[in-house]
Structure 1
Amino acid sequence: MIVNNVFSKRQSMATYTIQELTTLIQNGQVKLREVNKLHVRAIKKYILENVLTEQIYFPPIVAATDNLGPDKPFELFIIDGNQRLKAFCQIEDMGSRAVKSENNEHMKIGYKLLHFVQKSEVAVQLFEGLTKEEADQLFIDLNTKGKKVALSKRIAFDSRKELNKITNAILKNNKQLNIAGVEIEKRAIVRPTNKKLLSLSHLRQIVAIFLTGKMIHRAVDDRYEAHLEANDYIKLITIWFDELFLQYPPERIGDFEESMLANFPLLLAIAFYVNKGMEKCTFEERQQFLVNRMEQLSKVNWKRDNPIWENFKGTVRGGYYYLANDKSNIEKLAAWLDHQRG
């Protein structure tokens, strides 16, 4: 083990098998802080969901020790990684129970969990001689000073969540949408200056409505039951954007000074209007329903100066009417859209 002097503290890196660490914890040689049970549960869920594919990735654990020598220490105080270690301890018990199951799939997962515990190694960054105050400050710095991964990166690099993969595919391949504009760099679109139609989080909300058939106007829940293949959802969303841009050209649809469709609640209402109650239908049924419903909106005046928009909840700021982004208002807009069929 190589020990380096970094600033005023000696530091090193070492690897431990998960089984080594769980044994040390049980023997009282590794001391943990209090843990968040919900966080521990989420880590166990992550391991269970990915153990069969062996796609489990964890950053190094950070620990303090009294002395750093040529061999790795076995008396540790965990600074960062307490939840992970607690989850590892419980995973071993879960694996032992699962291998005794009569269900072949559960048994298979059990053996994988035990192999994961026995063979997987975890990197530990070690600091020598930290006081309690220094250890506490390091914990705070590690958990508050790091930069949060941008939403654009989470979508672009996420290989597991279907919602993010579909959003990324739409973003990359829809030429008209790219003309209309999707804001990737900034967290929010400031109107009327920014004339891009959507932010990336807005696009993901629209994708989520297509996947769930439910009104999603704030946080996106990744838990849903998919009834179609990913490519079918991509086709449906592409068709929806094609129909939308037939009603308002992509070059101007995000211009808040002229287009009411630059109000995101109205776009959400349209997406909800063409998807409500259709989540379990076939691709062909959904496609026909979507096209028919969008065509029935072709006579709607989407211009900002249409007085109808003031019948819906909103506020006036800087001479512009902003539709309220709340569930009841969006549902009211969707109901009004439904009445336009005559």
Structure 2
Amino acid sequence: MIINEVFSKRQSIVTYTLNELSALINNGQVKLRQVNKLHVRAIKRYILENVLTEQIYFPPLVANVAYLGTEKPQELTIIDGSQRLAAFCQIEETGYRVAKSDHHEEMKKGYKLIHFAQHTEVAIQIFEGLSQEESDQLYIDLNTKGKKVALSKRIAFDSRKELNIITNTILKMNTQLKTAGVEIEKRAVIRPANKKLLSLSHLRQIVAIFLTGRMVFRTIEERYEPHLRAEDYVQLINTWFHELFRLYSPEKIGNFQISMLANHPLLVSVAYFANKGLGKKGLEEREQELFKRMRRLKDVDFNRQNPIWKEFRGTARAGYYYLANDKGNIEKLVNWLEEQGGE
């Protein structure tokens, strides 16, 4: 075991098998911080979902010991990683339960999880002789000083979540959308100064509406069952954008001074209007119906000066009307679009 001194504190990196850590915890030789059951469950779900591909990545746990000798420490106080450690120690039990599933894929995950629990080692960065105050400060620094990964990077580099992969594909390939503008650098699109059509998170919300076939008021994180291939969803979304830009040109649609479609609640209402009730339909049927619905909106006046917008809940500020971004208001907008797009 190699021990280094950093800023007067001796430290080392040590690996333990999950069985070793479970035994130490059961014997009361490992002290954990307060454990959040929901967080532990989320970590177990992450491991379960990625165990077959073996794409599971965790940083080292961090612990404090009274003394670092030549042997692996047998008494630890966990500074950072209590949730991960609690999840690791429940993995084998979860594996045995999942292995009893009637579904072949789930059964494979269960057996793989059992193997994972029995053959995985966990790295722990161990500090020697930290006081309680120093341990607490280190915990705070580890959890607050790290820079959060920007949404644009999460979407660009995420190779697992279909939602992010499709969003990134649309962002890269749709030339009309590039003309309309997607705000990547800033977290929000501030109207009327910013004339880009939508933010990256808003684009992802629209993609989520297509994937789920239902109205999504926040970015979805829960599991959902896709009914089409990723490339089919890309085709559908590109078709929708093509029809959207027939209603309002990509050069002007994000200009809040003239276009009400720059008002995000209306834009997502149009997206849901085009998808409502079609979530489980095949590609050809969905695309044909989407095309018909969007063409029925050709006579709708989406200009900001149309007095109809004042009939929906919103706020008037500096001569502009901002539609309220809530479930009730969006449902009312969708109902109105259905009336406009009737046979």
Whether these two folds match at TM > 0.5 is yes
- Please report the TM-score for the alignment, with normalisation by the length of structure 1: 0.95
The one-letter code sitting in structure 2 at the alignment partner of 1:315 is: T
Change (3 A) 1:106 1:200: closer
Residue equivalent to 2:166: 166
Equivalent residues of 1:10, 1:127 under 8 A apart: yes
**Aligned equivalents of 1:331, 1:221: Cα separation in 2:** 22
Equivalent residues of 2:189, 2:198 under 8 A apart: yes
Residue equivalent to 1:199: 199
Equivalent residues of 1:180, 1:252 under 8 A apart: yes
Residue equivalent to 1:223: 223
Question: What per-residue deviation string (whole Å, max 9, x for no partner) do you get for residues 22-76 of structure 1?
Answer: 2221222222122001111111111122212211111110000111233332221
SS of the residue aligned with 2:126?
strand
**Aligned equivalents of 2:275, 2:237: Cα separation in 1:** 10
SS of the residue aligned with 1:14?
strand
**Aligned equivalents of 2:262, 2:109: Cα separation in 1:** 49
Matched, 1:42 2:42: yes
Shift of 1:106: 5.5
In the alignment, structure 1 segments of 5+ residues that lack a partner are none
Which shifted more, 283-292 or 110-119? 110-119
Question: What per-residue deviation string (whole Å, max 9, x for no partner) do you get for residues 157-185 of structure 1?
Answer: 22111111111111111111011111111
Change (3 A) 1:101 1:131: same
Shift of 1:96: 4.5
**Aligned equivalents of 2:104, 2:327: Cα separation in 1:** 44
**Aligned equivalents of 1:93, 1:247: Cα separation in 2:** 56
Shift of 1:188: 0.8
Describe how 1:181-260 pairs up with structure 2 within 5 A. 181-260=181-260
Residue equivalent to 2:177: 177
Residue equivalent to 1:150: 150
Change (3 A) 1:232 1:107: closer
Residue equivalent to 1:328: 328
**Aligned equivalents of 1:65, 1:23: Cα separation in 2:** 17
**Aligned equivalents of 1:148, 1:262: Cα separation in 2:** 28
The one-letter code sitting in structure 1 at the alignment partner of 2:66 is: D
SS of the residue aligned with 2:123?
strand
**Aligned equivalents of 1:23, 1:100: Cα separation in 2:** 25
Question: What per-residue deviation string (whole Å, max 9, x for no partner) do you get for residues 212-253 of structure 1?
Answer: 121112343432221111111110000000011112111111
Equivalent residues of 1:161, 1:222 under 8 A apart: no
SS of the residue aligned with 1:5?
strand
SS of the residue aligned with 2:12?
strand
The one-letter code sitting in structure 1 at the alignment partner of 2:299 is: K
**Aligned equivalents of 1:141, 1:62: Cα separation in 2:** 12
- Please report the TM-score for the alignment, with normalisation by the length of structure 2: 0.94
SS of the residue aligned with 2:89?
helix
Residue equivalent to 1:293: 293
Describe how 1:31-70 pairs up with structure 2 within 5 A. 31-70=31-70
Change (3 A) 1:174 1:102: closer
Change (3 A) 1:27 1:272: same
Residue equivalent to 1:137: 137
Shift of 1:92: 2.0
Residue equivalent to 1:307: 307
**Matched residue count:** 342
Change (3 A) 1:282 1:316: same
Equivalent residues of 2:204, 2:219 under 8 A apart: no
Shift of 1:255: 0.7
Change (3 A) 1:184 1:222: farther
Residue equivalent to 1:85: 85
Alpha carbon RMSD of aligned pairs, Å?
Answer: 1.8
SS of the residue aligned with 1:57?
coil
SS of the residue aligned with 1:291?
helix
Change (3 A) 1:161 1:105: closer
**Aligned equivalents of 2:226, 2:101: Cα separation in 1:** 29
Question: What per-residue deviation string (whole Å, max 9, x for no partner) do you get for residues 114-158 of structure 1?
Answer: 321222121111111011121122112212222222111221122
Change (3 A) 1:109 1:272: closer
Shift of 1:12: 1.6
The one-letter code sitting in structure 1 at the alignment partner of 2:277 is: G
Describe how 1:257-272 pairs up with structure 2 within 5 A. 257-272=257-272
Change (3 A) 1:217 1:114: closer
Change (3 A) 1:193 1:126: same
Residue equivalent to 2:5: 5
Equivalent residues of 1:31, 1:77 under 8 A apart: yes
SS of the residue aligned with 2:281?
coil
Equivalent residues of 1:217, 1:268 under 8 A apart: no
Equivalent residues of 1:64, 1:77 under 8 A apart: yes
The one-letter code sitting in structure 2 at the alignment partner of 1:113 is: L
Change (3 A) 1:245 1:57: same
Shift of 1:277: 0.5
**Aligned equivalents of 1:231, 1:216: Cα separation in 2:** 21
